[in-house]
Each structure stands twice: as C-alpha cells, then as structure tokens.
Structure 1
Amino acid sequence: MRSAPTSRLVAGIAGFGLAAGALTGCGFPERVVGLHDAKVETVDGAGVPEATAVTITQRALAQAGAAFAAKASDTKTHKAILTGPALRIAALPDKYTDEAGTSLKNPATPTILAVSAGRDWPRRILATTLVDGVQWLHVLVSEKPAEAYKLWVTVPMLPGSSVPALPPLSTGTDLVEGDDGLVADPPAVLNAYGHLLDIPAPKDKKWAKLVGVKDPYATGVLAASKAQVKALGKLGTFTRQHDPETKSAESMAFRLADGSALAFGQQQRVDLMKPTSKAKRLDLPSDLASLAGEKSVTKQLRLDWLLTFATVIPKDKAATVIGVSEQLRDIEAK
C-alpha cells in the first residue's frame, strides 16, 4: 500500500521571516535613612528612570541568552534570570532549537517602551530590540525590592506590525487587570484566536468578534492546514487544536495611550495526523523523522507546540495579533 504525501505539517509557517541583569529591582528607597525624617518619595511617575531601565534590560537579556544556551536540565541557571513563559521555553528538550534563545545570543541595545507606574512592586519593563531584521518585544519583571529583574517573555513581531503609542516613559504605564476597558480579557482573546485556527474549523462564529485572523501568522497557519488536509486526501486525517498553556491562563497586559492594551500570553497546540485504512502507513519528512526517531507511522504522528503571543486588544473592536513565536516541544510517532 502506498504511503500518504509527506507534506510537512507547518511548512506554511516555517517560511515566514518574522519582522517588523543583574541589577536588583530595588529601585529607590521609600525613605532616606538619616538623623532626621526624610521626605517621602513621590509615588507618581515611572518606577524606574529610562537610563536605569536600559542598563537593567541589557544585562538581563545578556544573562537570559546565556540561560537559554544552557542545557534544559540546568534549572538553577534558568530560574536565576527567567520566569513565566520564558522559563517554559528554556525548559524544552535540548534537541528542539528555540527561537528565543537564538535571538538573545548577541542581544542588541534595547529601546525602552514602558516601565511600571508608581513605586510599588511588582515592577515591569517593556522593551524592544532589533536582531537580524526582526523586531523583538521583551518583558522583564521584578516581584519585590530585593529581587533582580527577570525575563518574563520574549516574542518576535510579525511583518508589518507595530506597537501603538504607550504613555510617556516619565509617567509610567499601568497594567490592565482582567477585561477592564477592553473588548475582552487577554486569555479570552487568545482562546478565541486558537479556536479560529483549529482544524476542523469551529462552527461557532462568536470567536471572530474578539480577534482577527488576517495577520501573517494566522493566514499562514490556515493555508498550511488547508494544504495538509488536501495532501492527505483519503489517506489520512489531520487535526489541529489550541488550548491555554496553563490552567490559570497566565497573561500580562500594558495599558496603551488610547486605553487599549498590549497583552502577552501562551497557548499550546497539538497537531495530529493519522493514516486511514487506505494508507496503512505515513512516511515522515526527513526533519521530522530525525526528531521523532521514526521514518514512518502506522498509528499516528503527534506534534506538541508551545506558542507565545503579543496581541493588541482595543476597547471595543476585534484584537490583532502582532507577535508570535511557535516552538516545537515534543513529537510522538508510532
């Protein structure tokens, strides 16, 4: 029995070129120690001056690059400078090359886009770097005064995308809680986006009201899915399903100048291909075969992906995804 076509599951995505430290987070003391009471620090404005934020970000990205280069089992090195979505990527098996780590091997000088408003903790820094023609967004966090800033997320921007205006650096930027002033909260928007890219396609059209799928990544995924289904024909079945990466649907969102938000979060995606009775066996492309340790499958091929997103969520219109990183983290072939 002849095998089914061996089109790579995400060939439509691989072709896209995505474009567009160790300082502690202590900041400044609330009171100056001396013989007399000092004036209480002004609580308005940015929590970290721009020059300081640049230094913090430069050192944090350099250390993050070294952490990504460490083995997946080196959790001590990872946890010293990475947290949240970035930590999950660093923990992936060594055989899967991570895009984030590659971008931080020689980090460029960052541009600071936003810093947390006020003098309380946690504190956040939103920065961007340009690496080999690709614009990257980075979020650093410091949870308490004695804790160094860590890289929470790093994601490449999509071709032709941009970040809307943020509040002035001198005033600082607030984080958005839930769906405050937005069409929906970040987890709901990412959930809708994932459903719209699922195969089989969802019958419920309500998701399209929350987020668009005309960005380069979405159009690429949908085209690749269509091509895969067509290539398999009656010889196999293909499904693609998105779900939140964590039970709490971890996310972070910065308030933009117009009241909308720039949000970050992760999802997991599972691609599943199975031969039908007419095929008996599906041969794998050489790259997948090398990672899977099998040249063909008779039962199924399962690919597990970790997806990281940057999304602009308006007050009353559909959101737009402006940054995506997709990372293969497991292959099961049998």
Structure 2
Amino acid sequence: MNRRTFTTPLVGLVLAVGLTGCGVGSSIVGVRDAPAERTDGAPLNLEGATSVAARVLDDAVAARAAKGAEAAKVQPTVLADAALAQAQAATKIGAATSTDPLQRASDPKVVAISRGKEWPRAILVGTLDQASKTQTLHVLMSSAAAQPFKVHASVPMLPGTSVPALGDLAAGVRLIEPTDKAGAPLAPAGALTAYAAALNYPKPVANKAVGTSDAYATALRTSAASQVKALGALASFTQAHAPVPKNSIAFALADGGTVTFGQLTRRDVITASAGAKELVIPASYSKLVGKSKATKNIVINSLEQLVMVVPAKGAATVVGADEQIVSATAQ
C-alpha cells in the first residue's frame, strides 16, 4: 500500500494526515513493447526514451543528495523549473523538513513521449518506490537541440488515482500551451488558478469545473480546521495559494483535455490577537524560524507540486501532490 503524509507546518499543532491507497500501479497507459520508429510521430522510441530517463533520473537523485556548494553547482545541470525550485528549497532548509520524490525509485517506465521533431521535447516517466509502494510521475524536457534532458517535475501520485490514456506511444503526445483548453472546459493555467483559489482559507472560492475532494485538498482542510480550533481566540489563521505560471507543463489526453503538472506557492500566516502574550513555535520548526516564540505573527512559505487531470467532460481532479517548505519567519 502507498502511504503519503502531508503536514501543514503551523504553530501550536503537529498534525499528520495519512493517505493510504495503491497509487496508479498498472493503470497508467502507454507502457508497452518498443514500436517501430515513425518520423511523423515521437522523436524517440521506447528504448531510447527509457535509456535517457534512466540516466537523467540517476543524475537527479545524486543532485538531490548533494549539499552546500556542490548542490548549487550540480542541481541546475539536471533539474529545472518546479523540480529545481523544490530541490533548492530542500537543500537550503535541510532534510528534517524536506521530502525527496526522486529517492529510491525503481527502473523508469516511459508513459508518453512528446510529438514532433521540434523543441521543447518531453518524456513522461513513472517510477515506483518499492519500500512505500509510492508511484511517482516525472517530466523530463529538453528545451533545444544543444540542451540535455532535465527533470522539470517529480510528483508522487495520490492514493487510488490514475492518469487516463494519453494515446499511442509511437505517435507521440501533443504538448499543450498553458492557455489551450485542448477540448476541456478549462485550460491548464485556468484549472491551476481555480484549484488554488478553492484551497484558500478562510475564504475559498469554489469552482464547479475543479474538484477539491482529493486527498491533498482534504488534508489541507482538515489541518486548517484543527489549527483554528487549537488556536482559539489567541490568534487567527489564513492560508493563501497561488500558481507559479512558468512551472507548468501539460500533455494532451487521448480523449481531450490534459494531464497538467503545476506548482503553487502556499503562505500560512498565524497572527496573534490583541489578548495573546506570545505564540509558541513547535520544536520541529523553531530552528527554521530561528526562535521558539513569537509575539506578532508566524509566516511559513511552501511550494506545492501538483498533477491535475483536466478531462474533456467533468471536473478537473488532482491525482498527484507533494509539498516543500521554503522559508519561515516569526515576529
């Protein structure tokens, strides 16, 4: 079984929400025997794409494990966009409050290859962590002929979720622009923006075109409610989510719509009320903040990595998620 834990890092409460399920397993389509190469389809065949993915993911694992000046040097050579931002934040704050979606992965299985001979070119890859049975999706991209493939996103699947068919592997998959609806009610950029707004607390903005019953959104709501209850009249709590437009990548689904990889920023703020003398910061975060108590507020900034299926019909759904603390301050 697959167990993922999401914890909203807030003062006065340590809350872990366990997510249990079986990941995507064999439900991701597109992994099959190597087809004959077609000049009008994918620029790489299955064998070539698998070889590239294995090499790049191995290099990415080593880059995530690097420390200090070495990390600053090697991470940009194999990671980019959302994956690089997550890795740099993890290196900066230390392993105690970091996750690594690249860690202990199985041999990569190619799910899709972008169509055409032009750039950018992308490979969508799945790996399985044998210990936790967590399935992770990775996007590898090459932006130009002289540029190597790099990992642009790595996101663990949520329990019990899957990705719909992306079409024939040999034909390749169309990369979708952020503003292209691709036959769906919402474009990738619109879906991510709507999901972010629907997660905001205490004033979420619901959108019937985007679902929020997924395990990640549920965990955030549960954690926020528990935090507010624990704080009582001593402090107020707000949580704001916003998309990072430059760190989104989308692939066309066979029946219309997209599977979209996106990144959100999250800002958790606890503000002391007039009657509160101080706020006590949990030990797990006091080192990051640099103090154990605050008299005015505590602010924690995080990155959220998402995989969202935006179907041709029905509501968009998040099927993969991960989070990484970036920074924290207290006054």
Scaled to the shorter chain, the TM-score interval is 0.7 to 0.9
How far apart, CA to CA, are the structure 2 residues paired with 1:166 and 1:320? 16
In 1, Cα distance between the equivalents of 2:63 and 2:96?
12
Aligned match of 2:170: 170
Whole-Å Cα distance in 2 between the matches of residues 129 and 99 of structure 1? 23
2:13 matches 1:7:
yes
Alpha-carbon distance change, 320 to 179 in structure 1, aligned in 2, over 3 angstroms: same
Letter in 2 for 1:264: F
In the alignment, the residues of structure 2 paired with residue 79 and residue 117 of structure 1 have an alpha-carbon distance, to the nearest angstrom, of 26
Q: Which residue of 1 aligns with 2:224?
A: 225
What SS does structure 1 have at the residue aligned with 2:260?
strand
Matched, 1:45 2:41: yes
Query: Using the alignment, how far apart are the partners of 2:87 and 2:137 within structure 1?
Result: 17
Whether the 8 Å contact between 1:19 and 1:157 is mirrored in structure 2 is no
The residue that corresponds to 2:147 in the other structure is 147
**TM-score (normalizing by structure 1):** 0.85
CA change 1:18–1:77 in 2 (3 A) is farther
CA drift at 1:43: 3.3
5 Å matches for 1:1-334?
6-8=12-14, 11-13=15-17, 15-16=18-19, 20=23, 43-71=39-67, 73=69, 74-92=71-89, 93-97=91-95, 102-131=100-129, 132-177=132-177, 178-202=180-204, 204=205, 207-245=206-244, 248-334=245-331
Using the TM superposition, give the Cα deviation of residue 290 of structure 1 relative to its aligned residue in structure 2, in angstroms. Answer: 2.7
- Report the TM-score, using the length of structure 2 for normalisation: 0.85
Cα 1:111–1:99 change in 2 (3 A) is farther
Q: Counterpart of 2:93 in 1: which secondary structure? A: coil
Tell me, yes or no, if the aligned pair for 1:53 and 1:125 is still in contact at 8 Å.
yes
Which whole-Å CA distance do the structure 2 matches of 1:318 and 1:72 have between them?
43
Q: Distance in 1 between matches of 2:190 and 2:255?
A: 21
Q: CA deviation at 1:277?
A: 1.9
CA distance in 1, matches of 2:203, 2:150: 38
Q: Retained in 2: the 8 A contact 1:208–1:318?
A: no
CA distance in 2, matches of 1:129, 1:217: 20
Q: Distance in 1 between matches of 2:150 and 2:20?
A: 27
Alpha-carbon distance change, 241 to 263 in structure 1, aligned in 2, over 3 angstroms: same
Matched positions, count: 303
SS at match of 2:218: helix
- Match of 2:176, SS state, is coil
SS at match of 1:208: coil
CA distance in 1, matches of 2:313, 2:142: 32
Residues 22-80 of structure 1: CA distance to partner in whole angstroms, max 9, x if unpaired?
xxxxxxxxxxxxxxxxxxx9631221010111110011001011111123544331121
- More strand by percentage: 2
Shift of 1:95: 2.5
Kept after mapping to 1: 8 A contact 2:38/2:171: no
Amino acid at match of 2:52: I
Segment drifting more, 171-180 vs 136-145 = 171-180
Change (3 A) 1:326 1:19: farther
Aligned-partner Cα distance in 1 for 2:97–2:106: 16
> Per the alignment, in what secondary structure is the counterpart of residue 94 of structure 1?
helix
Where 2:213 maps in the other structure, the secondary structure is coil
| AA aligned opposite 1:192 | A
Does the CA-based 8 Å contact 2:12-2:281 persist in structure 1? yes
SS in 1 for 2:100: helix
Task: For structure 1, list consecutive stretches of 5 or more residues without a partner in the other structure.
Answer: 21-40
1:135 CA displacement: 0.4
Determine if contact 2:21/2:160 at 8 Å carries over to the other structure: no
C-alpha separation in 2, matches of 1:72 and 1:325:
23
Runs of 5+ unmatched residues, structure 2: 1-10, 24-36
Take 2:97 and 2:150, find their aligned partners in 1: how far apart are those partners? 18
Tell me, in whole angstroms, the C-alpha distance in 1 between the residues paired with 2:99 and 2:117.
Answer: 31
Q: Distance in 2 between matches of 1:193 and 1:12?
A: 22
Pick closer, same or farther for the CA change 1:238–1:254 going to 2, 3 Å: same
How many angstroms does 1:316 deviate by? 3.5
Letter in 2 for 1:199: Y
Q: By how many angstroms is 1:289 displaced?
A: 1.6
Larger Rg: 1
Whole-angstrom distance in 1 between the partners of 2:298 and 2:274: 15
SS at match of 1:91: helix
Q: CA RMSD in A?
A: 2.2
User: Percent of aligned positions with the same letter in both sequences?
Assistant: 37
Equivalent residues of 2:182, 2:257 under 8 A apart: no
- 3-state SS of the aligned residue for 1:327? strand
Moved more, 254-263 or 94-103: 94-103
